[in-house]
Amino acid sequence: GKEKWPRGEEKVWKECMRDVDTEVSSITKSFVNHVQTSLARQPYNLDNLGAYQAAALSVRDNLLVNWNETALQYTRKAPKRAYYLSLEFLMGRTLDNALLNLGLKDQYSQGVKKLGFSMEDILDQERDAALGNGGLGRLAACYLDSSASQELPVWGYGLRYKYGIFQQLISPAGEQLEAPDPWLDNQNPWELPRLDVAYEVRFYGHADRLNDGTPRAVWAGGQEVLAVAYDVMIPGCYTKTTNNLRLWESKPKRGFDLNSFNAGNYEGAVESSNSAAAITSVLYPNDHTSFGKELRLKQQYFWTAASLADILRRFKNIGKPITEFPDYVAIQLNDTHPTLAIPELMRILIDEEDQPWATAWQIVTNTFFYTNHTVLPEALEKWPVPLLEHLLPRHLQIIYDINLLFLQSVEKKFPGDRDRLARMSLIEEGFPKQVRMAYLACIGSRKVNGVAELHSDLVKTTILKDFVEFEGISKFGNVTNGITPRRWLDQCNPELSALISTTLKVDKAVWLKELTRLEELLPKTEDEAFRKEWAAIKQRNKERLAHHVQTTLGLTINTKAMFDVQIKRLHEYKRQTLNILGVIHRYLTLKNMTAEEKKKVNPRVVFFAGKAAPAYYIAKLVSAPSLPLPLPLYFIAWLTPFGTHQTIRLIVNVARIINEDPDTKDLLSLYFLPDYSVSLAEVLIPASDISQHISTAGTEASGTSNMKFCLNGGLLLGTVDGANIEIAEEVGESNVFFFGHLTPAVEDLRYQHTYHPIPIEEKCPALANVLNQVSAGLFGDADVYEPLLNTIRQGDHYLLSDDFDSYIAALAMVDEAYLDQTEWVKKSIRTTAKMGKFSSDRAINEYAESYWNIEAQRIA
C-alpha cells in the first residue's frame, strides 16, 4: 500500500527535540537532529526512507565513538593485527545488526514509535550491501562480526563496487534476467569516505632490472590510478570493540586530460577517467570457472596494492625494522583472489625497501595465510602469462624468479623427477602459458587451510598433494567454517532467540557468544510444553515467510505443509537439477495415486532461490577493456553456464503446471523466489522444516547455509559432503537424512560413465521416466530443456543418475519422519542444541590462535 506521511504528531516531534532525560529521549533528539541537519529536511514531515536514514545516522554516531576508541587503542598498544583480504563481503543489512550489537534495539524501537514510525518498516527500507556472490563472501562477513565480537584486532580489506551482485528478475517464460544493483543510489549511511586515505596504483608500463648485483628493478610508465578508502564500521556484539572494513574505490589520478581536451579530443579526455573508475564498478559474478578477464585482474591488483600500501604505512608508524613485519602483521588470503599480494610485497621489499631476496621471501612467507574454498579444477584461478606481462610486468618477473628458486629446491629434494617439476611449476605450459595462482598462494604462505574436514583432506590429497610431500603436512590444516549466531539466530529468529534465553536462564549477551551453551536445551526435548512452544515458533516463522511471499509476489502459500528449501547459487555441482527432477517424480507419483492413498500424503511446499551466473552481464555494464595485442588467446572463454539457466526455467515452468493442477496442488507446490539475497535468506531459513544440501560428494567444500538452517531447528537432507558430515557428527546421524554415493566412489563412477556407460533406462528407470516426461513437453518448451537433460543422459558428470534412487528414498524417509510430529520436534530441538561448534566465533578463534597468532584486545 501507499505510505502515508507525515507521520506522528507535530507536538511530540517538537518535544522530542528538547528533553534528553532518558535514553529514549536522547535517541529521539538525535533522530530529529539528523532529520534537520544531515538530511536537511523539515522535522515532522518524513517518509519511511527518511526515517531509516535518520535512525541509521543516529546509530552511526554511537558506533563512531567506539570505532575511534578501538582504533586509538590499537595504535597505542600496537598489538599484532590480522588483515582479512577478500574480494567479497556479503554484508546484507546493517541497521538491525548494529542495534543488536549496541544493545539499543528496544530503546530505538520505542524512540521511533514515539515519532510515529515502526522499527520493522524502518529496517525494511535498507538495501542489502550485496558485495558478494555466495558462501565465500558471506563467510567473510560472518568472520568480521566474530572478530569484533571476540575483541580481536582484525580489519577487512575489499573493494567498494558501485554495483553489487546483479538483481535477478524472472521473465514470464522463466528466464533469468539480470539488472544492475545500484545499491549506493540512496546514499549509504554506513560508509565513511576517507579522502585523506588514498594511494596511487600503477598498471602497464615497463620493468627494468638494475643488474647492479641486487635483485632490484625499476617499474615505470603506464597508467596510474588512485585508490580511495571508504571505511565501514564493524561493531562487536556487546563489546566496545568496533573494527574496520576498508573498501577501496578507484578514481582517475588526474581526472581529466586537459591536453586531449584542448586538442579537441573530447572522448579521449574522459577515457582515462572512465577506465580508472571502471575498476571498482562491478562485482564479478562467480560461476566456479576461472576466466582470464583483464578487468578482473586489474581489480585484484588494484585492491591488493592499495591494501598492502595501507598496511605497510601503519606498520611503519610503529617504528620497527621491516624484518619484524610478520611479528605485527598477519594477512589472510580469502581464496586465491588476493594472491598478487605475494609478488607485490616482494616488489615493495626488494625494489623500495632494498631488502635481499632471501630476507624478503622470509618476510613474505611468514606473513601470508591462504584459505582454499574449492577443489573443482575448473574453478582454480590461472592467469595468462601475456596478460600479466602486459598489465604487471614487474610482478611477472618476480613470479618467474620465485618459480626458478622454488623449482631448484624441489629438484634438490627429488632429483631427476621431471614430471614432478612440471606438475609443481607455477607456470603451466600451453598456449598461452598460465600462472597457477593456487600454487603461488601455497608456497608464498605460512599455512594453508581448507574449510571443512573432508575438504581439507581433499586439498591435501588432490590439488596440493605434491606440495604436501615437498613442504610437509604441518603446513596444511583445516578450519571448519562457521556462521555468526547474531545474524543467523538472534536477528533472523527473534522468537526462538527469546525462548532460548528464558530456557537457559541466561541473557543472550552470554549464550550468543558461547554458542555451545545451546546444549543445555537437550533435556527440553522431553518437555511437552517446551516442544509445543518450539513448534509454534516454527509455525509463526512459516507464516512470516508466507506473508512475505504474499506481499512481494502475490502468491498464497499453504503454511500447514512441510517447508522444503534449497537456496544457494545455481550450479551444476550443487544439483538443483536433482531437486527439481525429484519434485517432478513426486508430482508424477501423486498423479497416479487414488484418493485414499493421497489422504496419507503429507503436503509439501518446495522453495528454491538462487542466482545463476549470467552470460553477458559484465559486457553490458562495462565497456570491454582494451586488449594489449590482437591475440584472441587472451580470452579464456567465459564458459556460459547455460545448464543452470535451464534449471531455473524448468523450476518456474514446473511450478506453473503443478501449482495449478487440481489433482495435486493441495499436496505439492513449488516456488522459485527471485533475487535471492541475505535479507531473503533471513526470512526463509527460520521457516524451513527441511533444507537440501545435495552436492555430488566431494564437490561442496563446506557449505554454510546448512549450518544456518540447523541452527534454526530445520533438519538437513544432504549428501555426505562438506560440513554436512560434521553437522551429522554433532547432531547424530539419526537426526539428518543422508543419501548418495560417497566421495571415494565418485572417480570410479565417472570412469564408468565415460568408458562403460549404461543406458539410463536400465540404470535408473525412475529418473529416465522423469526425463522423458520433460522431453515429451509435460512442462512446455520441450526443446529448451533437451541440452540440460542430455547432460544427464550422457556423461552425467555430477552423477544424478547414480544418486537419484537413494535421493528419492531419502525424501520418503523425510515424509515418514514428519508424520511423527513429536519425534520431529525432538530432532529439531536436538539439532539446534548441537550447533555450538558452527559459531564463527569458534572458527575465528582458531584462525587467531593457530594461524595468525593474535590476541584479544579489551577496549576500555
Contact residues toward ligand H2P (CB under 6 A) are: 133-136, 139, 373-374, 451, 481, 568-569, 700-704, 722
Asked whether the beta carbons of 474 and 395 are under 8 A apart, the reply is no
Asked whether the beta carbons of 423 and 407 are under 8 A apart, the reply is no
Which position among 127, 288, 708, 741 bears the catalytic label? Answer: 708
Nearer to ligand H2P, 136 or 800 (CB): 136
Rounded least distance, CB 569 to ligand H2P, Å: 6
Nearer to ligand H2P, 675 or 700 (CB): 700
Nearer to ligand H2P, 150 or 371 (CB): 371
Nearer to ligand H2P, 88 or 231 (CB): 88
Element (H, E) at 495: helix 494-504
Instruction: Give the single-character DSSP code of 522.
Output: G
Annotation says 574 is catalytic: yes
C-alpha cell at 558: 499453504
Annotation says 367 is catalytic: no
Asked whether the beta carbons of 635 and 641 are under 8 A apart, the reply is no
Rounded least distance, CB 112 to ligand H2P, Å: 35
Rg (CA), the chain: 28
* 765: phi then psi, degrees, rounded to nearest 5: -55, -35
Q: Cβ contacts of residue 174 below 8 Å, gap of 6+? A: 648, 649, 650, 651, 652, 653, 656
Q: Cβ contacts of residue 747 below 8 Å, gap of 6+? A: none
Burial bucket for residue 172 (CB in 10 Å: 0-12, 13-18, 19+)? exposed
Rounded least distance, CB 380 to ligand H2P, Å: 12
Q: Cβ contacts of residue 859 below 8 Å, gap of 6+? A: 66, 69, 70, 73, 151, 239, 240, 241, 242
Which position among 293, 395, 531, 569 bears the catalytic label? Answer: 569
Please compute, for residue 768, the number of CA atoms within 13 A of its CA located in the half-sphere on the CB side: 9
Instruction: For strands 217-220 and 223-235, give the pairing.
Output: unpaired
Rounded least distance, CB 576 to ligand H2P, Å: 13
Q: Cβ contacts of residue 681 below 8 Å, gap of 6+? A: 492, 567, 609, 705, 708
Rounded least distance, CB 711 to ligand H2P, Å: 15
Report the distance separating Cα 176 and Cα 648, nearest Å.
7
Element (H, E) at 363: helix 357-367
Q: Of 639, 573, 638, nearest to 296 (Cα)?
A: 638
Instruction: Give the single-character DSSP code of 741.
Output: -
Q: Of 126, 110, 105, nearest to 48 (Cα)?
A: 126
Rounded least distance, CB 804 to ligand H2P, Å: 23
How many other C-beta atoms lie within 10 A of the C-beta of residue 597? 11
Which position among 574, 575, 585, 830 bears the catalytic label? Answer: 574
Element (H, E) at 551: helix 528-553
Nearer to ligand H2P, 134 or 614 (CB): 134
Annotation says 704 is catalytic: yes
Q: Residue of minimal CB distance from ligand H2P?
A: 135
**What distance, in Å, lies between the first and last C-alpha atoms of the chain?**
47
* 830: phi then psi, degrees, rounded to nearest 5: -60, -40
Q: Of 189, 24, 54, 185, nearest to 44 (Cα)?
A: 54
Annotation says 569 is catalytic: yes
Nearer to ligand H2P, 686 or 703 (CB): 703
Which position among 7, 127, 202, 373 bears the catalytic label? Answer: 373
Report the distance separating Cα 487 and Cα 244, nearest Å.
18
Task: Give the residue numbers marked as catalytic.
Answer: 373, 568-569, 574, 704, 708
